[in-house]
Amino acid sequence: MHLTVVRADSSITHVAIVGRLDIDGVNQIADKFVFTTTSARTSAVVDISQVTFIASLGMGMLVGAAKAIQRHGTKMVLVAPPHLVHDALVAAGIGHVIPIAASEAEALEMLR
């Protein structure tokens, strides 16, 4: 499980998560993820194309960061979840809180 910062500048924070967002995975990256996505007060693109599993704790981490970002007047977009992860996010209603894009280009368009 790891978190990579793809881009961090004055307009956007783009991170990529790789692995399982289960209890162990969330415990490994939660602090870095929340700090990285919320401290700059910019919109965030979160590439989850390499997330193989997401538990409720992982969803909670994403929603918590998204709500913190929204308090700053900016947004978070999730990018390219694999089919099973996408289905879990939709079933939990996460798409109502955090938009889900099929590609990075679509995510950037959603943030405009």
pLDDT at 30: 98
pLDDT confidence bin for 3, thresholds 50/70/90 = very high
Note whether 105 and 83 are within 8 A (CB). no
pLDDT at 26: 98
Note whether 45 and 66 are within 8 A (CB). no
Structure confidence by residue, pLDDT tens digits, 66-82:
999 999 999 999 999 99
pLDDT at 65: 98
Output the domain CATH number for residue 17: 3.30.750.24
Tally the domains of the chain.
1
- Is the torsion defined by CA of 92, 93, 98, 99 positive or negative? positive
Note whether 43 and 27 are within 8 A (CB). no
Structure confidence by residue, pLDDT tens digits, 17-58:
999 999 999 999 999 999 999 999 999 999 999 999 999 999
Residue 75 lies in domain: 2-111
